[in-house]
Chains A and B, each alone.
Chain A
Amino acid sequence: MAKIPVQFTLNGAEKAEFIDSGTTLLHALRDKIGDTSPKGGCHQGTCGACSVIIDGELRLSCLTLAETCNGAAITTTSGLSQGGVLHPLQRAFLDAFATQCGFCTPGMIMAAKVLLDHTPDPSRDEVVEALSGNICRCTGYEPIIQAVLTAARSNSQNAA
């Protein structure tokens, strides 16, 4: 079967690939383009480890066909740091010891980023709601919730 061309921007850089029809965005990102920050956990859209941001919205890359992403702007966790300086969310996750095995962390950070982009000063309940599609099996979630709240506070201080 003929390959399909697909073009999008990934963390600001233009990418173009020929893919098989039906290729998931997760597979295209990890195995074609080489961005392994989205993780393949359940491959059925329930664990959130593959979360990426497409045109500002949180999406599960394991359930998104790459061919539907033509012209899209895609952000992954590997694109968050700027010139070696960590994004406030990454810094907050480190400082709060909000990661152990680390497998869920990129998806958690994507979910948290979309929350903070839309709701810069979220309540605890809003953080819980935003993370509820992401499974963690190490931390007990509390350090992750605290990290997101801390990042929100540091963002609002920087803005002030």
Chain B
Amino acid sequence: MAIKRGRGVAAINYPTGMNLGGDPTQALVHSTPTGNFMVTLSSVDLGQGMKQIMAQICAETIGVPTDRVVVDTADTDTGPHCMGTFASRGTHRAGNAVIQAAREARQVMLEVAAEELEVNASDLETDGQGNILVKGAPQRSISIFDVALSAHFKRGRSISGRGMFLIPRSYPEKETGAMKPSTCYAHACTVAEVEVDDETGEITVLTVKNVFEIGRALNPKMVEQQLVGGSWMGISHALYETTEPYYPDRDHGGTDFNQYLMPGPGDLAQTEIIVLERPSADGPYGAKGPGEMCANPQIPAIANAVFDAVGVRIDTLPITPERILRALKAQASN
């Protein structure tokens, strides 16, 4: 009886969104009378940072500082339609819708500015600081504050835009069954090191080293935050989480969230995160979906590490001490 060490590696491709029934998200953008911009969405921020990212995307597209944008996700009954924030789709789907809406609003904003400056709208550019300038003659300029006042009180214009992003439903080909149920794949690879006690079946994850390819990191610190939490969730999926440990029997299943096992602060593996940025062709400013994707590669990597350590393949999650001991027993009797 001994504590045995093993190392496992796994790589994944992970889709952004899920278009089995069509995958739409819509967005509306409009300016207030003082030239701030509202983004209206039904996409919900659960703490993953949706509002911050959508504010950045809208600000970048219109050409204003991020703090001039307010994102309202207040009510899924009254906001523009969104399928929801799941399947790593929020940044990609809602972001593309916000870009389209913000472009339309920007165009109206430039048209009003053009009337005020008595130039052609196509000769105007934004400075990113809240001003609109004549290209090549920046001394001729107007603030977006004044453009909004003009639109609202003088010219009767609504500086607003509509955004619609839809990945259409994919039907399987009749002959082959081939289909495209998702788009914009992100990629990840994890190397996990574990120790397995072959007497008790206990597993300790020593290290997880993760590389994530996530398109462009629109907010690098928030991406890192997602990946660190997600890597921990992957370990949790692999070793801890279940509501039915003897599925389909409900016996011994947790009945409340505090009985739903996840690793605590004393159970953490040494975690390394490396981000590779390869901007995607159809993502908003090159982004893919890092959210759910990042909690996947740890699972097969840990299963492989357990095999490397004690020579048993556990193909049911979570990989509990009991399952390891039963597998070791079966292996010994064969």
CB distance from B73 to the nearest CB of A (A): 14
List the B residue with the shortest CB-CB distance to A145.
Answer: B265
CB distance from A39 to the nearest CB of B (A): 13
List the B residue with the shortest CB-CB distance to A137.
Answer: B262
A131 to B266, CA, bound (A): 9
Given A97-B222, A100-B47 in contact, is the A139-B229 Cβ separation under 8 Å? yes
Q: Is B256 an interface residue (CB 8 A)?
A: yes
CB distance from A53 to the nearest CB of B (A): 20
Q: Is B332 an interface residue (CB 8 A)?
A: no
Q: A100-B46, A143-B228, A145-B265 are in contact. List 8 more A-B contacts (CB 8 A).
A: A44-B258, A100-B49, A101-B47, A132-B266, A135-B262, A139-B228, A140-B228, A141-B264
Is the CB–CB distance between A100 and B221 below 8 Å?
no
Is the CB–CB distance between A140 and B233 below 8 Å?
yes
Per-residue B-contact encoding for A88-108, CB less than 8 Å = 1, 0 else: 000000000101111000000
Is the CB–CB distance between B265 and A141 below 8 Å?
yes
Is the CB–CB distance between B48 and A132 below 8 Å?
no
Chain B residues in 8 Å Cβ range of A46: 258
Q: Is A50 an interface residue (CB 8 A)?
A: no
Is the CB–CB distance between A100 and B48 below 8 Å?
yes
Q: Is A142 an interface residue (CB 8 A)?
A: yes
Most buried by B among A131, A135, A145: A135
Is the CB–CB distance between A139 and B265 below 8 Å?
no
Identify A97's interface contact among B225, B256, B262, B271, CB under 8 A. B225
Q: Is B72 an interface residue (CB 8 A)?
A: no
Per-residue B-contact encoding for A101-139, CB less than 8 Å = 1, 0 else: 110000000000000000000000001110110010111
Chain A residues in 8 Å Cβ range of B225: 97, 100, 139, 143
| CB<8 Å pairs between A and B, sample of 5 | A97-B222, A139-B229, A141-B232, A142-B228, A143-B228
Most buried by B among A101, A132, A141: A141
Q: Is A33 an interface residue (CB 8 A)?
A: no
Q: Is A10 an interface residue (CB 8 A)?
A: no
Counting chain B residues whose Cβ lies within 8 A of the other chain, the interface size class is 20 to 34
Q: Is A74 an interface residue (CB 8 A)?
A: no
CB distance from B270 to the nearest CB of A (A): 10
Residues of A within 8 A of B (CB): 41-42, 44, 46-47, 97, 99-102, 127-129, 131-132, 135, 137-145
Q: Is B257 an interface residue (CB 8 A)?
A: yes
Chain B residues in 8 Å Cβ range of A145: 265
Identify A132's interface contact among B221, B262, B264, CB under 8 A. B264
Identify B258's interface contact among A47, A99, A143, CB under 8 A. A47
Chain B residues in 8 Å Cβ range of A137: 257, 262
Is the CB–CB distance between B268 and A141 below 8 Å?
yes
Q: Is B231 an interface residue (CB 8 A)?
A: yes
CB distance from B266 to the nearest CB of A (A): 5
Identify B265's interface contact among A41, A44, A131, CB under 8 A. A131
A128 to B262, CA, bound (A): 15
Q: Is B60 an interface residue (CB 8 A)?
A: no
A47 to B262, CA, bound (A): 12
CB distance from A126 to the nearest CB of B (A): 11
A72 to B257, CA, bound (A): 32
CB distance from B207 to the nearest CB of A (A): 13
Interface positions of B from 250 to 287, Cβ below 8 Å from A: 256-258, 262, 264-266, 268, 271
A100 to B221, CA, bound (A): 12
Chain A residues in 8 Å Cβ range of B47: 99-102, 138
Per-residue A-contact encoding for B44-63, CB less than 8 Å = 1, 0 else: 00111100000000000000
List the A residue with the shortest CB-CB distance to B236.
Answer: A140
A131 to B264, CA, bound (A): 9
Is the CB–CB distance between B231 and A140 below 8 Å?
yes
